[in-house]
Amino acid sequence: MGSVLNSGFDFCGRRFTEQDIKLITEVTRNFSRLSLTELSNTVSELLEWKRPNGKLKYDESRALLQKLQASGIVSLPAMRKTAVCGARTIVHSASSDARDRLEGAIGGYLPLKLRLVDDRSLSSLWNQFIDRYHYLKRRVPFGANLRYLVESEQAPGRYLACLLFTSPAWTMAPRDAWIGWTDRQRKRCLQYVVSNGRFLVLPWVSLRGLGSKTLSLAAQQLPEDWERCYGYRPMLLETLVDSSRYKGTVYRASNWIYLGKTQGRGRMDRDHSAQDQAIKDIYVFPLCRNVQRHLCEARPPQATL
C-alpha cells in the first residue's frame, strides 16, 4: 500500500500519481456521506477523467474506488461495501418468450437492420433475451459500450439476434503481439479496440448466413455509432470464443482473424491473479487498413468539451 501511495499506479489506461491518490483519499474522507455513485462522479470530475466526448468516466472511476478500498487506501460508504456492483434481477416478461421458429436462408429476410438499444423498452428486452438465452447471462458492461438488436426490415419488431460491444481486454499476449505495440503504446491506444462481448442468435432462429451478415453489418455501422456516442472511431474489433462450446465458425466465415488463445484470466485481470476463467479463442477484425501501424502510432482520443 505504501509503494502505491508513493509511486502511483496505472489503471484503465491512465497513470494515477501520488497527488491523484491523495486527492481521492481526501474526497472519500471529507465527503463520506455521499453515495458511491456521487463519489465516483466527483472523483472523475475533479481528475478530469473523461471520455473523448466529454462524458465522465463513471464506470472506471467506480472500479478505481473499489480497487483502492480493497487495498485499504480508502473507505467507501458502509452501506455500499457489501453491494454487488451492477447486480439486478432481470424480470422476464412475455415479450422475451420463445416465438415460432424461423428457418431457411437469410436471403428471404434481407435487408437486416441493427437497432441501437437506446431506450428503456429496448434495453429491457435486450437484457431479458441475454439473461434467458445466453449461457453467460447478462452482466453489467464495464466502460463504454453499445448494444444492438438485429431485425429484418421486412418484419419490424421481430428480433433475430443480440449484440454487445464494449471495452477491450486490458492485455492479451496473442493480440498484443499481432498488433506489435509496446506496453506504453497499448496503454495509450487501447481505447481504439472494441470487444464484441455478446453475440446471441435467438434460439428459435435458424437462418443460414445470419451470423456472417450480422457481423458484416456491425463492422460497417459500429464505428459511426461509436464515434457519435463516444467521440472517436475504433480501429479494431476483438472477440473471445469459448472453444469448448463453439468452433468460431461464424467469425472465420466473416473474415475475422484467429490469433490464438487466452491464458484463462479475466478480461480485466491486470495483476495476473485470476486463474479460474475458461481458456478462449481470440479473433480480431480490422476496421481500417494498416491497422497495426495505426494502433502503434495513433494519439489517444482527446476529450472534447
Total Cβ atoms within 10 A of residue 209: 15
Mind listing the pLDDT tens digit for each residue in 197-251? Answer: 999 999 999 999 999 999 999 999 999 999 999 889 999 999 999 999 999 999 9
Contact 300, 289 (CB under 8 A): no
Q: Is the pLDDT of residue 54 over 80?
A: no
Q: What is the pLDDT of residue 84?
A: 46
For residue 200, give the 3-state DSSP assignment: strand
Averaged pLDDT score across all residues of the chain: 86
- pLDDT category, 7, cuts 50, 70, 90? low
Percent of the chain with pLDDT over 70: 88
Instruction: Please check whether residues 107 and 247 belong to one and the same domain.
Output: yes
Instruction: Please check whether residues 118 and 256 belong to one and the same domain.
Output: yes
The three cell numbers locating residue 156: 419490424
Scored b (16 or more CB within 10 A) or e, 47-83 reads bebbbbbeebbbbbbbbbbbbbbeeebbebbeebeee
Q: Is the pLDDT of residue 264 over 80?
A: no
Q: Is the pLDDT of residue 78 over 80?
A: no
Q: What is the pLDDT of residue 83?
A: 43
Instruction: Please check whether residues 107 and 235 belong to one and the same domain.
Output: yes
> How far is the first Cα of the chain from the last one, in angstroms, to the nearest whole number?
35
Q: Residue 17 sits in which domain range?
A: 2-81
Total Cβ atoms within 10 A of residue 261: 16
Q: Which of 19, 48, 81 is the last residue of a domain?
A: 81
Contact 91, 120 (CB under 8 A): no
Farthest-apart Cα atoms in the chain, separation: 64
- pLDDT category, 266, cuts 50, 70, 90? low
Q: What is the pLDDT of residue 263?
A: 82
> pLDDT: is 194 or 2 the higher one?
194
CATH of the domain at 221: 3.40.630.30
Lowest mean pLDDT among 35-49, 156-170, 192-206: 35-49
Mean pLDDT over 93-100 rounds to 93
Q: Which of 46, 81, 116 is the last residue of a domain?
A: 81
How many domains are there within the chain? 2
The answer to the question of residue 305 being in a domain is: no
Instruction: Please check whether residues 155 and 202 belong to one and the same domain.
Output: yes
The answer to the question of residue 69 being in a domain is: yes
Contact 265, 272 (CB under 8 A): yes
Instruction: Please check whether residues 63 and 187 belong to one and the same domain.
Output: no
The answer to the question of residue 11 being in a domain is: yes
Q: Which of 57, 81, 105 is the last residue of a domain?
A: 81
Stated as kind and residue range, the H or E segment containing 166 is strand 159-166
Q: What is the pLDDT of residue 70?
A: 82
Order of strands across the sheet that contains 112-116: 112-116, 145-152, 159-166, 193-201, 236-241, 281-286, 257-261
Instruction: Please check whether residues 259 and 113 belong to one and the same domain.
Output: yes
Mind listing the pLDDT tens digit for each residue in 284-294? Answer: 999 999 999 99
User: Which residue is listed with cell 487506501?
Assistant: 73
Instruction: Please check whether residues 157 and 43 belong to one and the same domain.
Output: no
Instruction: Please check whether residues 98 and 210 belong to one and the same domain.
Output: yes
Total Cβ atoms within 10 A of residue 159: 22
Q: Is the pLDDT of residue 189 over 90?
A: yes
Percent of the chain with pLDDT over 90: 55
Q: Is the pLDDT of residue 15 over 90?
A: no
The three cell numbers locating residue 169: 481486454
The answer to the question of residue 303 being in a domain is: no
Instruction: Please check whether residues 103 and 21 belong to one and the same domain.
Output: no
Is the omega angle on the peptide bond into residue 111 within 30 degrees of 0, that is, cis? yes
Instruction: Please check whether residues 135 and 170 belong to one and the same domain.
Output: yes
Residues 6+ apart with CB under 8 A from 148: 114, 115, 116, 117, 162, 163, 164, 165, 218
Instruction: Please check whether residues 252 and 131 belong to one and the same domain.
Output: yes
Instruction: Please check whether residues 43 and 9 belong to one and the same domain.
Output: yes
Contacts by residues 3-6 (CB-CB < 8 Å, ≥ 24 positions apart)? 4/71, 4/73, 5/73
Q: What is the pLDDT of residue 268?
A: 47
Q: What is the pLDDT of residue 304?
A: 47
The answer to the question of residue 89 being in a domain is: no
The answer to the question of residue 87 being in a domain is: no
The answer to the question of residue 37 being in a domain is: yes
> CA 194 to CA 218: how far, in whole Å?
12
